[in-house]
């Protein structure tokens, strides 16, 4: 009996230590403090129905449960938001007012109206993938089973969401028109082998990443630095064409109207900060794209 009580108290302590972070995850997905609290409570109920001793990573397990519950709640809504932003922010402030500095720090940036407005434009799976990966550094291998996709497709969901967030043009971001000009110039410099022009267009710390399918086609998984990325593209990208991908400028290599590789560019302050190559058929099949004159 004493051992059971001790185990129960241990489980309560562990859950309470995770509560603020779990609430932050759910709130950013759902945009409602009340719904977030419901998701966290459901995670506690499920934990009580589970043999916690068999869970190797309790923090990860709880995050997955809260994410699944939040996704189900988001999908079940008649519309993506049921509360006004003022209600959501007011409720969040009430929730954090009696918590310590650590809990309040975890939730502080959840109060930004601009972020929630932009997240509201995303589909449920996109929103979840973006929140888990970009805000909580959850690996795509763990996000994939939650959204029912492959890791590559989960990465694309987050990337698509990121493009839409960038499209909001907050401070420091590049407008869609300017981004199109930068990508077009990059493709031209790549085809002509203009190494100096490539260096001018690339951020010194630019990162080029390729998914597994692109690597099997001959791409390098990761290349870092302007010189290395310029060397990778110089004289190449002959078949890549300027395109709109999920509403933002990028590039696509297509054959017979079907994309073979998608090039996703992150442009900050007029320079390319990151390039992602996607060749996974599942990812390409979900793309909303059309070629542009360039």
Residue 89 has pLDDT above 60, yes or no: no
Residue 186 has pLDDT above 90, yes or no: yes
d(CA 210, CA 269): 23
| CATH number of the domain within which 186 lies | 3.10.450.50
* pLDDT at res. 52: 79
Q: Do 222 and 107 have their domain in common?
A: no
Radius of gyration of the chain (CA): 22
Domain boundary among 166, 190, 205: 166
Domain boundary among 134, 166, 198: 166
Q: Do 121 and 6 have their domain in common?
A: yes
Q: Do 70 and 110 have their domain in common?
A: yes
Residue 137 has pLDDT above 60, yes or no: yes
* pLDDT at res. 108: 39
Query: What percentage of the chain has pLDDT greater than the value 90?
Result: 41
* pLDDT at res. 44: 94
When pLDDT is cut at 50, 70 and 90, the band that residue 267 belongs to is confident
Residue 171 forms part of a structural domain: no
Q: Do 117 and 11 have their domain in common?
A: yes
* pLDDT at res. 16: 92
**Mean pLDDT, rounded, for 240-265:** 90
Residue 271 forms part of a structural domain: yes
Q: Do 247 and 193 have their domain in common?
A: yes
Out of 41-45, 46-50, 72-76, give the one with best mean pLDDT. Answer: 41-45
Residue 250 forms part of a structural domain: yes
Q: Do 198 and 95 have their domain in common?
A: no
Q: Do 149 and 12 have their domain in common?
A: yes
**Mean pLDDT, rounded, for 85-106:** 38
| Per-residue H/E/C for the chain | CHHHHHHHHHHHHHHHHHHHHHHHHHHHHHCCHHHHHHHHHHHHHHHHCCCHHHCCCHHHHHHHHHHHHHHHHHHHCCCCCCCCHHHHHHHHHHHHCCCCHHHHHHHHHHHCHHHHHHHCCCCHHHHHHHHHHHHHCCCHHHHHHHHCCCHHHHHHHHHHHHHHHHCCCCCCECCHHHHHHHHHHHHHHHHHCCHHHHHHHEEEEEEEEECHHHHHCCCCCEEECHHHHHHHHCCCCCCEEEEEECCEEEEEEEECCEEEEEEEEEEECCEEEEEEEECCHHHHHCCCEEECCC
d(CA 235, CA 213): 22
Residue 269 forms part of a structural domain: yes
**Mean pLDDT, rounded, for 39-43:** 95
Q: Of 116, 97, 95, which is closest to residue 38 (Cα–Cα)?
A: 95
Q: Do 280 and 197 have their domain in common?
A: yes
* pLDDT at res. 66: 95
Residue 27 forms part of a structural domain: yes
pTM of the model: 0.56
| CATH number of the domain within which 99 lies | 1.20.140
* pLDDT at res. 226: 96
When pLDDT is cut at 50, 70 and 90, the band that residue 162 belongs to is confident
Q: Do 230 and 113 have their domain in common?
A: no
**Candidate from 163-167, 183-187, 283-287 with smallest mean pLDDT:** 163-167
d(CA 219, CA 210): 7
Mean pLDDT of all residues belonging to the chain: 81
The sign of the dihedral angle between the CA atoms of 146, 149, 150, 156 is: negative
Q: Do 202 and 129 have their domain in common?
A: no
Residue 109 has pLDDT above 80, yes or no: no
Domain boundary among 112, 142, 166: 166
Q: Structural domain tally of the chain?
A: 2
Beta strand 222-224 with 289-291 is unpaired
**Mean pLDDT, rounded, for 183-209:** 95
Q: Which domain holds residue 246?
A: 176-291
Q: Do 130 and 78 have their domain in common?
A: yes
* pLDDT at res. 175: 67
Q: Do 7 and 143 have their domain in common?
A: yes
Residue appearing with tokens 């185990």: 7
């Amino acid at each position: 009996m004493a051992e059971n009580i001790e185990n129960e108290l241990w489980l309560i302590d562990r859950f309470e230590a995770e509560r603020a972070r779990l609430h932050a995850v759910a709130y950013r997905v759902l945009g409602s403090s009340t719904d977030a609290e419901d998701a966290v409570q459901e995670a506690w109920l499920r934990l009580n129905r589970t043999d916690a001793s068999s869970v190797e990573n309790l923090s990860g397990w709880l995050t997955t449960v809260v994410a699944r519950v939040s996704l189900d709640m988001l999908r079940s809504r008649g519309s993506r938001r049921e509360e006004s932003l003022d209600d959501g922010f007011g409720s969040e402030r009430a929730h954090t007012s009696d918590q310590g500095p650590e809990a309040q720090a975890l939730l502080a940036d959840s109060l930004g109206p601009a972020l929630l407005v932009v997240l509201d434009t995303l589909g449920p799976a996109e929103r979840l993938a973006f929140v888990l990966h970009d805000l909580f550094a959850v690996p795509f291998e763990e996000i994939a089973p939650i959204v029912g996709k492959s890791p590559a497709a989960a990465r694309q969901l987050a990337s698509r969401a990121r493009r839409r967030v960038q499209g909001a043009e907050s401070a420091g971001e590049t407008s869609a028109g300017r981004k199109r000009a930068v990508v077009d110039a990059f493709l031209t410099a790549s085809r002509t082998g203009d190494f100096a022009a490539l260096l001018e267009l690339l951020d010194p710390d630019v990162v080029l990443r390729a998914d597994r399918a692109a690597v099997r086609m001959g791409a390098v998984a990761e290349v870092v630095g302007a010189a290395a990325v310029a060397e990778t593209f110089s004289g190449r990208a002959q078949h890549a064409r300027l395109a709109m991908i999920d509403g933002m400028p990028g590039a696509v290599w297509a054959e017979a109207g079907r994309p073979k590789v998608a090039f996703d560019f992150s442009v900050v302050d007029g320079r390319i900060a990151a390039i992602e190559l996607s060749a996974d058929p599942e990812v390409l099949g979900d793309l909303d794209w059309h070629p542009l004159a360039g």
